[in-house]
Structure 1
Amino acid sequence: MTELVFSPEVEAARTDGRPVVALESTILTHGLPKPDNLAIGREIEAEVRQSGAVPATIAVLGGEARIGLSDEDLAGLCVADSAVKLSRRDLGIALSQGLTGGTTVAATMILAARAGIEVFATGGIGGVHRGAEQDFDISADLDELARTPVMVVSAGAKSILDLPKTLEVLETRGVPVIGYRTDEFPAFFCRVSGLKVPLRLDSMEEIAGAWRAGRGLGLESGMLVANPVPEEFALERAEMERIVEDALYEAKRTGTIGKQVTPYLLSEIRTATGGASLRTNIELVRANARLASGIAVSLGSAGR
């Protein structure tokens, strides 16, 4: 069985029984521009520590599955031009071929579950892409949420997606979707989507209790906790919809497909908003890190 490599900080937390929160790394390798990605990665880890938990940024470095990164490793990952984007299908190849890469939501969930970490903070999950009825472009994140027991705290799903279909797939696959202090499913950059969340809970303790009850029944699915971006950083829904449609048109015109679609669209959106979407992205991840840490503290989980 492939060995996981724990950072000293995460290993100490496991030994001492302190809560651990998983963080993905594709946001650093493929989601944020250099050199901002390193500063933001450090900020997100700091949010987790300040909220009483230990951050475990997950990545593959030189063929090693790393659970938690030293600052030196984090810096190296953020400047690695050869870093690949790793989902479930890519992990075995990356480990066997000695590759370095950032883990998506799906891959981070797999490695977090292997490490015994129950709570994971990210920006927004992937889902059903617009036009999926023609090209079948559906993120592996949805299947992972259905079969891997990790709680994912995010600002809903990315605005570029078909959100009604994404919620429908999550319902079909039996994934609990909980709105944290909201009745409406957030749309990443926007606090609202026009879609209701199936369930609402207003405290970290309630969310922790719901997770424990599900695990007590032997349910092996994950859980999605939808946390709207802080109001002062939210972008306006109608304007974002126009920008997304323009970005999707450009992606189609330039023949952008596969793993490159999401990074391309986010870059186009960043340009169209004059950089405002970058600040929103940073702030929503920070907010999710704080919430995930509070839930992990409530769970009393050491990530073991």
Structure 2
Amino acid sequence: MTELHFSPEVAQAKAEGKPLVALESTIITHGMPYPQNVETARQVEDDIRAAGAVPATIAVIEGRLHIGLTGDELDALAQAKDVLKLSRADFAVALATGRTGATTVAATMIAAHAAGIHVFATGGIGGVHKGAELSFDISADLQELALTPVTVVAAGPKAILDIPKTLEVLETNGVPVIAYGQDEIPAFWSRSSGLTAPLRLDSAAAIAAAQLARTDLGLTGGQLIANPIPVADEIPAAEMAKAITQATAEADAQGVSGKAVTPFLLDRIFHITEGRSLVANIALVRNNARLAAEIAKEITAS
């Protein structure tokens, strides 16, 4: 069995039965430029601590699966080169070959479940890319949500995706998609997607109860909590649509494909919006972390 390497903070939290929140590492290595990446990682971890839970940032470092990173490890990862972007398909290879890799939503869910962590906060999930009917580009995050019993708190699917098709795949795979505090699915940088959420819950206690009920029923998979970005931090959907259309056209023209698509689009949107997308991204990740901490506390208290 793969050995899990717990940071001292996470090991102590597990020993004391404290609530834990998993965090991905791809947002550090592939989602934001340095030094914003490490600054944001620290902010998000501090938000979880302030809310009464313990953060567990997950990554593979030289073939070792880390559940929680020390300050030095976080700094090193934020500046590392040639870091793999790990999903279900290549997770084990990175471990077996001693590589360093950052975990996507799918890989973070796998590691969190192995570590006994029930809640995971991220920015947005992957999903069905636009044009997937030709490219078949569908994120492994969707299948993982159907397989692994972890509650994922995100600001909805990333707005660069085909959100209606993403929701259809999640429904087909039996994944509860629950909007938090509103009737509409949020669209990452924007609170509005124009799509009605399949489910709505208005409290961390209700979300925790839903996960515990799934466990009692023996249902596989987790649940996706679509937590809208705070009003003060959002970029209106109509404005973002223009930036996304331009970035997508550039990706198509340059033949960008596979795992390179999302980082390329996020970088181009950052420049098109003159950095506003990054500011919004940071705000929504921190907002998700705070809600995830509340859910984790409710689960721990049950």
TM-score (norm 1): 0.98
SS at match of 1:21: strand
For 2:161, give the aligned amino acid. L
CA distance in 2, matches of 1:275, 1:82: 24
Which structure 2 residues correspond to residues 146-185 of structure 1 after superposition, within 5 A? 146-185=146-185
SS at match of 1:146: helix
Q: Please say if residues 94 and 100 of structure 1, whose CA atoms lie closer than 8 Å, have aligned partners that are also in contact.
A: yes
Q: Please say if residues 118 and 301 of structure 1, whose CA atoms lie closer than 8 Å, have aligned partners that are also in contact.
A: no
| 1:274 matched residue in structure 2 | 274
Q: Please say if residues 20 and 301 of structure 1, whose CA atoms lie closer than 8 Å, have aligned partners that are also in contact.
A: no
| 1:262 matched residue in structure 2 | 262
Q: Deviations over 1:7-42 (max 9, x none)?
A: 111011110000000000000000001111111110
| 2:231 matched residue in structure 1 | 231
Task: Report whether the alignment pairs 1:14 with 2:24.
Answer: no
- Shift in Å, 1:301: 6.5
| 1:219 matched residue in structure 2 | 219
CA distance in 2, matches of 1:257, 1:177: 27
| 2:63 matched residue in structure 1 | 63
CA distance in 1, matches of 2:4, 2:220: 21
- Shift in Å, 1:106: 0.2
Uncovered stretches (5+) of structure 2, i.e. residues with no partner? none
CA distance in 2, matches of 1:301, 1:290: 17
| 1:111 matched residue in structure 2 | 111
CA distance in 1, matches of 2:301, 2:102: 25
SS at match of 1:88: coil
Q: Deviations over 1:239-266 (max 9, x none)?
A: 1111101100000111111111000000
SS at match of 1:152: strand
Q: With a CA cutoff of 8 Å and minimum separation of 6, indicate the structure with the bigger relative contact order.
A: 1
CA distance in 1, matches of 2:203, 2:85: 34
| 1:5 matched residue in structure 2 | 5
For 2:94, give the aligned amino acid. A
| 1:72 matched residue in structure 2 | 72
Q: Deviations over 1:186-221 (max 9, x none)?
A: 110110001011111111111111111111111111
Q: Please say if residues 17 and 301 of structure 1, whose CA atoms lie closer than 8 Å, have aligned partners that are also in contact.
A: no
SS at match of 1:300: helix
| 1:39 matched residue in structure 2 | 39
State the 4+ residue runs in structure 1 displaced beyond 2 angstroms: none
For 1:224, give the aligned amino acid. L
TM-score (norm 2): 0.99
CA distance in 2, matches of 1:204, 1:87: 28
CA distance in 1, matches of 2:301, 2:35: 33
SS at match of 1:274: coil
Cα RMSD over matched residues?
0.9
For 1:246, give the aligned amino acid. Q
| 2:130 matched residue in structure 1 | 130
- Percent identity of equivalent pairs: 58
- Shift in Å, 1:101: 1.3
| 1:49 matched residue in structure 2 | 49
Q: Deviations over 1:84-121 (max 9, x none)?
A: 11111111110011111110000000000100100000
- Shift in Å, 1:64: 0.4
- Shift in Å, 1:183: 0.4
For 2:112, give the aligned amino acid. A
CA distance in 2, matches of 1:92, 1:208: 30
CA distance in 2, matches of 1:301, 1:88: 31
Uncovered stretches (5+) of structure 1, i.e. residues with no partner? none
Q: Please say if residues 21 and 118 of structure 1, whose CA atoms lie closer than 8 Å, have aligned partners that are also in contact.
A: yes
For 1:34, give the aligned amino acid. Y
Length, aligned pairs only: 302
| 1:29 matched residue in structure 2 | 29
CA distance in 1, matches of 2:141, 2:12: 30
CA distance in 1, matches of 2:159, 2:196: 15
